[in-house]
Amino acid sequence: MRLPLLFVLLTGLALAHGRETIDFNPDWRFLKEDPAKAETPGFDDSAWERVSAPHTFNDTDTFDNWSLPGHRGEQDQWSGRTWYRKTFAAPAEWQGRKVFIEFEAVRQVAEVYLNGVKLGTAKGGFTPFGFDLTPHLRPGEPNVLAVMADNRFQRDPMDPALDPQAATNAKTHPNLAQLSKQLMEQIPETLEELQADQIPWNNPHWHPAHGGIYRNVRLIVTDPLHLTLPLYSFLQTEGPYAYATSISEKSAQIGIEVPVRNDRTGSADFQIGAEIIDADGRSVAAMQVRETLPAGGSRKFTLPAIVIPRPRLWEPAYPHLYRVVISLNVRNTNIDRVEIPLGIRQVRWETDGGLFLNGAHLKLRGWGQKPTNEWPGLGAALPDSLQFYTLQLMREAGGNFVRWGHVPGGPAQIAAADRLGLVTLQPGTDGEHDTKGGAWALRVANFRDVLIYYRNHPSILIWEGGNQKISREHAAELRALMDRYDPHGQRAYAHRRADAITAEFMDVGIGTEGGREIARLPVVEGEYNREESPRRVWDDFSPPNFGYPEAKGQTYQLTSEQFAVNQIGHYVKKLGAPEHAGGANWIFSDSTSGGRVAVEVARTSGEVDAVRLPKEAYYVTQAMFRDDPQVHIIGHWSYPAGTRKSVYVVANTDTVELLLNGRSLGSGKRSDRFLFTFPEVAFEPGEIKAVASSGGKVLATATKLTAGPATALRLSLVRHTGGLVADGADVALVDVEAVDAEGRRVPTFQQRVDFDVSGPVTWRGGYNSGKTDSINHRHLDLEAGINRVALRAGREPGEVTVTARAAGLQSGHIRFRLNAYAGAPPALPTVSLPATAPARLILAATAATAARTDATRLGRFIRTLNYTGPNASIVHVETHARDGRNAYVNTDSPFAGLPVALQDADWVQVDNRDALYSAVDLIELSVATDATVWIAHDEALPRPAWLTRQFEPTDTVLRVLERPMRLFRRNVTAAASLTLGSNTEDPRQTEGNLYLVFVGQTPP
């Protein structure tokens, strides 16, 4: 077949000297099929769709189905092999130069071809990779790059005879542990044999399977003598590495490692230059060394240390970034140059004190987030500006921490965290279990690639080896990679759901719901407050919903008000202890992965919804997390006549007074440090005002006004006030609100709005949280008086007009400009540093992380634990039992009224789904000291023989999940071991709580 007439011309490049980085995102051809010979240069792709990266073929195939219960995620999604092709002219001037391509990521498997030659197959899905195009490139001629993207994913087995929305049980659907075991059996021995749908983290339990070239692509053109790229897979290169040691407020020593390769035909003499430039553009240090490399040689050069006096330190309150400019020069002519970020910060973890950054204690307050960052109508294919926007919302809410789960955040996300001051927990690739064979080989390669690619980013303080414990051999292998490729980054190695074996290699633990599996290690929270509630449901008193009746019988049935109020207790009770490092609320934005409420199209655990419109919970976390005075009235003030309800106010001050139309209703009852409650307030139209004070001084106020009937629609551009860029990938966000005659948003308005659009854009629309098939239509409902739509830029500049219409309301209009593409993606917003940096005093040099020891004790009293139930992977030891902590690992089950003897005890946080599992050795444990072992057993179940034989009953009864549980006790001596059997030995039993094991100090 003949070549397409249209191909990409790479023009306007300064090709004579130096490195060129070329935006390769625009103008791909795409086909959602798998035709034979699509990789060949002569294949006719002229009828294929024209797209630009970032691109996914699941953009309008998401947020469109009910969220399946049982944490199953978005199972009904198109998957298969697809093709991208790009024809481009390689300038003749590239002859004799090196040309590389970098993909930031492709889901899930990518086969890459140049001019019909296969370059390799990348299977990581979330990790950057690249190839050397030089051997197969044809300078001065058209070239064809072809990429096969395969997003086939692991699907849960579901009985076709059952309603997919049916609640899960062991007969209709295996639980995660059982499912993981089944899938493990299908994993082949080698990476080469591993298919897309056998990769454990390519599973909608964890991430929606949005396939395609969903992140950026670039060409990198260099001299044959060049600085190597931080892309290990397929290139086996590392890139420069810069780090700070001997850090104090007076000085810091900078180490720089520079890998260079000489692909010239002869030996090369050259100079390596390094210059450090601060955020104001001032050069603070520079140096140059002379080196030599033979033809075909490569070497990592360690430059002499550079001392920076009075360094500007990086931390959330002052995220100062230096740029390290590394150059190669031959006979005073620059032939290569790269810039890498450098943040100077001193890190210290303490078991009983948490995190200290630059000598000051830092409480981590933030969120977990899926790196897919999925968006209705856009999927995971977001421009860098939208990645930045999501993280900026976190920062504006007072967040200083993000945990990416359970695969690595992408380049734009990590770079944004550097600039915004968000401490980052960066994982490799994982689902929720150990793995084997080809999948483990891929996981190891991905972790290595992530370490090398991201190790210069100061925001990353923790490398996560896995979302669950793994074997000793596997933990040792991952830890060794960190020690090899990031020995000076002052970063901790961690796992969630760790055991004593995995903990041998860890520096900190990652807790869950306030838990702490490894008592001797500092803990950072990985997932707390996993409740769910949609933005559209205000409370029990607001039309049109008057509560959340459609959620009756679901795992979560919370209104937006209840969800917001609950944020406070979750944070204070689970992360409030001073020795706790803080951590991540799960999750920031509503996601299609792993939901539990079948009347929503997403997992509604976010503080913002899927289009990033804030819920009331967002403003609650803002009041708790920010340091400046904050006060927020939860909800609105536009109720039906006769309404009486409690008003909840959140503030970070000592007192809050509430005024209704100028009349004081007194001070609110304070609880959980931040919540102020005003019970049974009678609604009357007008103004409700909260006045927040400390020490008798008013520090902040908040006001809500009663809205009148909706009279008009108002449109506003959320971003791109200067216009979109016509690169085929940029996105504009437009908010549409229903407003009254005074221009106030009407919070109870929930009605259909239709849209008209003109101009060179593609409509991508928005969504409705409680409706299926609401994606990519020219209509949607407003929810709580507002909704948001997205428009994808085309490739031609011009004016864009959006009109919104609704029955009985004045239409809304907005116009903005789509600007011409100038060869680069749109610039990101600037981030300004505070006028002055915090004053810091850094103590004498200490270990960067808590020292690892050979101690294997799991808790304060429990030394070892072995659990044989089906959900063993998540069962672990918790310490410091107290009211409010969850009894069971798999469900919200807070202790209430714990006897004094059990307070501060260790306990085995078991999975209550194993209550009817039969095993003579369900639990084996040993104790570290003289102690008392307590068993709480469900009173409705027959007492098993092992319990009555080994333990004495007491008169004390606990209530857990509304069921009475009798306490039994036994005193033991140090090093004693116990074997505990089944919860019940009667197979006729159908329900009951699994017994709980406590180990604590023997009462006097």
| Enzyme catalytic residues | 527
Identify the CA nearest to 142 among candidates 89, 86, 84, 85: 89
N residues, the chain = 1004
All residues at 6 or more sequence positions from 861 whose CB lies less than 8 Å from its CB, including other chains: 905, 906, 927, 928, 929, 931, 999, 1000, 1001
Reading the block at residue 617, the tokens are 């919970």
> Where would I find the beta strands (DSSP E) of 579-682?
582-586, 631-633, 644-651, 655-660, 663-667, 669-671, 675-682
Identify the CA nearest to 165 among candidates 775, 773, 601, 609: 601
Radius of gyration of the chain (CA): 29
Helix count (H) and strand count (E) of the chain? 9, 59
> Where would I find the beta strands (DSSP E) of 263-321?
268-277, 283-293, 298-302, 306-309, 314-315, 318-319
CA distance 642 to 136: 77
- Burial readout 640-659 (b: 16 or more C-beta within 10 A, e: otherwise): eeeeebebbbbbbbebbbbb
DSSP string, 974-986: TT-EEEE--S-S-
Residue 836 CA to its chain's centroid (Å): 31
Query: Residue type for 676, please?
Result: F
Beta-carbon-side half-sphere exposure of residue 338 (alpha carbons within 13 Å): 23
Residue with tokens 């409480």: 363
Strand partners, 51: 28
Identify the CA nearest to 92 among candidates 32, 139, 131: 139
CA distance 794 to 800: 11
CA distance 587 to 606: 5
Contact 225, 260 (CB under 8 A): yes
Reading the block at residue 880, the tokens are 């410091």
Give the residue ranges of DSSP H helices in 492-627.
500-503, 560-575, 616-625
Identify the CA nearest to 414 among candidates 506, 311, 346, 341: 341
CA distance 224 to 235: 14
> Is residue 739 classed as helix, strand or coil in its secondary structure?
strand
H or E element: which one contains 255?
strand 251-262
Contact 607, 616 (CB under 8 A): no
Contact 905, 1000 (CB under 8 A): yes
Reading the block at residue 621, the tokens are 């976390």
Reading the block at residue 683, the tokens are 């609604």
Strand partners, 111: 121, 148
Query: Residue type for 996, please?
Result: L
What angle (nearest 5°) sits at the alpha carbon of residue 425, between those of residues 424 and 429?
A: 130
CA distance 621 to 569: 11
Identify the CA nearest to 838 among candidates 317, 135, 196, 268: 317
Residue with tokens 């953009």: 59
Residue with tokens 């298919």: 195
Identify the CA nearest to 180 among candidates 160, 152, 159, 199: 199
